[in-house]
Structure 1
Amino acid sequence: MKKIHRFRVLVMGRANAGKTTILQRVCNSTENPEIFDGKGNKIDGDVVQGTLKRGVHKIEHELVFCSNPGFVFHDSCGFEAGSTRQFDEMRKFVVDHGAMTRVNERIHAIWFCIPMTDYHRTVTAAEKKFFNECDTGHVPVIVLLTKADALYLPALRGFLDEGLAIAEAKERAAEKQGELLDKWLDHIKQELGKCKFPPKEYVSLQKMHQEGADCSALMDCTANVLNEEGLQRLLISTQQSSIALCVQYAVHK
């Protein structure tokens, strides 16, 4: 474990699930990441944008933020509408990089994003396919309920439809938002819990669009599901989200 220098995460989920924003918050950055091929060669950002517009994406590409190069991210882009070929490529990447003999090339965790902007279809065929057919081995998968703030508007509309004044509706909508989040979280847990390879844990993320948003819940959750102490130490030392988490881990150990 002493040879591991960077914590590597595969980020998955639908388009517009807020993945890049979460990575920016984790790395305390407002910039886009630098992108490297699997051999450490930097790829021109314009070239990457051009390939994305043509529907081409390579999961092998490494996304690294200058503000925190201790994290390396891989993005499984376009998973929702992916073909069988794309799914097979993703699964091969997970299997290969989950069991790499070179520890610095292994993926250490998978963050699977489900946006609450799509709360009416939280678990689609794509999610079920992944959790039924993709055995990630010892690499833990955490489901991230992203854009949880989106549940505020349906909560507000519900109270307005009931005839409440706007001031009272706003006051009650925040509490109702929490209830809706709990409802959809329970639904997702039930659906994915039936799958062959269910996720290890779940965490909801709010206000990630705000600069300086709190990512400590994600870091805490990820640290808790790691099955190797060395990986826990690496994550705790790499993350910049929570001093409290560093202290908690130090006291616990």
Structure 2
Amino acid sequence: MGRANAGKTTVLQRVCNSTERPEVFDGKGNKIDGDVLQGTLNRGIHNIEQELVFRSNPGFVFHDSCGFEAGSTRQFDEMRKFVVEHGTMGRVNERIHAIWFCIPMTDYHRTVTVAEQKFFNECNTGHVPVIVLLTKVEVLNLPAFEGLLGQGLALDEAKERVAEKQGELLEKWLAHIKHELGKCKFPPKGYVSLQKMHQESAECSALIQCTADVLNEEGLQGLLVSTEQSGIALCVQYAVHR
């Protein structure tokens, strides 16, 4: 879940170690024609029931919820109905197991809007944990650099300290988000910051680790870690821990 241009698809590509677009299926396993799908997306139509699967790792099945952040009550209600129904399915392959809620740092001045407050106050996900993903963290590099120059630092010194300053800005906004969402009725279970997901070398072990930590079933934790094929170190860590 998340706003438009929050980098959701890019994160999923990194998780599945892919650069391709996902294949899309309806809720009954039938593949949806790409031209038909693109036509609906161009008209702003999104169906949370549709399943997104990457050929590089079909063990993951994703659902994309779009639109309710724009204020559509109907789309919000459809999303909530889907979460409630699929969060309690008896069969493990019919259930949703975790929700990744993306907040892009491109909008760092408006990280928690009415849309986020509405979701975390009105959507009881039950046993399905919600993790907030701070995406596109690298954009904080520019305000960090400008802030250092504004303090009177020379160009070379500002370049040397920009990474440290960027980290301080990230901590500031993360603390703000945690404070605001922590006041909500159904706050998230975890937070992960991601940056440079557009680079093929980017890795998502922190996201997988956090997701495994907040899952409430040990069997699901092991299944998640083993499905994330590229995280060998994470598999070893999880096996030793257990």
Instruction: Give TM-score, length-normalised by structure 2.
Output: 0.98
2:140 aligns with 151
Task: Provide, for residues 210-250 of structure 1, a one-character-per-residue CA deviation record: whole Å limited to 9, x for no partner.
Answer: 10202000000000001101101110110024211100111
In the alignment, the residues of structure 2 paired with residue 89 and residue 241 of structure 1 have an alpha-carbon distance, to the nearest angstrom, of: 34
Matched-pair contact (CA < 8 Å) for 1:98–1:108: yes
Work out which structure has the larger RCO, using CA pairs closer than 8 Å and 6 or more positions apart in sequence: 1
What is aligned with 1:76? Answer: 65
- Whether 1:238 aligns to 2:227 is yes
Secondary structure at 1:202's aligned position in 2?
A: strand
CA RMSD of aligned residues (A): 1.0
The match for 1:178 is: 167
What SS class does the counterpart of residue 35 from structure 1 fall into? Answer: strand
Tell me what 1:196 maps to. 185
Is 1:54 equivalent to 2:43 in the alignment?
yes
Task: Find the partner of 2:100 among 106, 111, 127.
Answer: 111
**Alignment identity in percent?**
83
1:15 and 2:4 matched:
yes
Q: 1:137 aligns with which of 118, 122, 126?
A: 126
Q: How far apart are 1:100 and its partner, in Å?
A: 1.1
Instruction: List alignment gaps of at least 5 residues for structure 1.
Output: 1-11
Partner of 1:99: 88
C-alpha distance in 2 between matches for 1:95 and 1:149? 34
- 2:34 partner amino acid: G
Structure number with the higher strand fraction is 1
Aligned equivalents of 2:189, 2:104: Cα separation in 1: 18
What's the CA shift string for 1:164-205, capped at 9, x where partnerless?
332221111111000000000000000000000000010101
User: Does the 8 Å contact 1:219/1:241 carry over to 2?
Assistant: no
The more displaced of 150-159 and 22-31 is 150-159
Query: Which runs of 5 or more structure 2 residues have no equivalent in the other structure?
Result: none
Matches within 5 A, 1:1-12: 12=1
Deviations 1:114-165 (A, max 9, x none): 0011000000000000000000000000000001111000001112233433
1:35, 1:62 within 8 Å by CA — same for their partners in 2? Answer: yes
CA distance in 1, matches of 2:230, 2:3: 25
User: 2 CA distance for matches of 1:175 and 1:201?
Assistant: 24
- Contact map agreement 1:13 1:79 (CA 8 A) in 2: no
For residues 82 and 106 of structure 2, what CA distance do their matches in structure 1 show?
Answer: 28
Q: Distance in 1 between matches of 2:43 and 2:155?
A: 45
Per-residue deviation at 1:101?
2.3
Supply the distance in 1 between the matched residues of 2:204 and 2:90 (Cα, whole angstroms): 31
Tell whether 2:214 aligns with 1:225: yes
Aligned: 1:34 with 2:20: no
Q: How many residues align?
A: 242
**Following superposition, which runs of at least 4 residues in structure 1 exceed 6 angstroms of deviation?**
none
Distance 1:51 1:167 in 2: 49
Q: Give the aligned residue type for 1:143.
A: V
Which of 109, 115, 122 is 1:120 aligned to? 109
Q: Distance between the aligned counterparts of 1:116 and 1:169, measured in 2?
A: 21
**Equivalent in the alignment of 1:165:** 154
Distance 1:82 1:243 in 2: 41
